[in-house]
Amino acid sequence: EAGVVQSPRYKIIEKKQPVAFWCNPISGHNTLYWYRQNLGQGPELLIRYENEEAVDDSQLPKDRFSAERLKGVDSTLKIQPAELGDSAVYLCASSQDRVGYTFGSGTRLTVV
C-alpha cells in the first residue's frame, strides 16, 4: 500500500513568489491534514479536511495561504506571496478513523 505522497520534496523560491504543495493521501482515508513544522519544533496544524470539506482552518493564515481538496482525495496547499518566515517543512497526513495518522515525507520550503 502506498503511503501519503507529497510533492515536491524540496522547493526554493524568492520571497513574494507563489508556491504550491501537493498531497495524495492513502486511498480510503477521508481525513486529511496539513501541518507546518519549523526547524527544531513540533508540527503545527494548518488545516483539516473531512472529505472535501475544510472542517478546521482556524490556524491557516488566510491572507496568504489557501488550500483545497479536490473531490475529497488529493489536496493542494498554496502560499501567495511567500515570506521569509514561511520557510519550514510542510507535512500532509491522512487518517481513516482519526485514531491512527500517517504522515507523508513533507515538502521542505526555503524562501530566500
By CB under 8 A, name the binding residues for other proteins. Answer: 33, 40-45, 48, 56, 91, 93, 98-106, 108
Q: Are 91 and 34 in contact (CB under 8 A)?
A: yes
105 CB-side CA count, 13 A: 8
Nearer to other proteins, 28 or 42 (CB): 42
For other proteins, the closer CB: 44 or 68: 44
- Nearest approach in angstroms of CB 93 to other proteins is 8
36 or 82: CB nearest other proteins: 36
CB 83, min distance to other proteins, A: 23
Q: How far is the CB of 16 from other proteins (least distance, A)?
A: 27
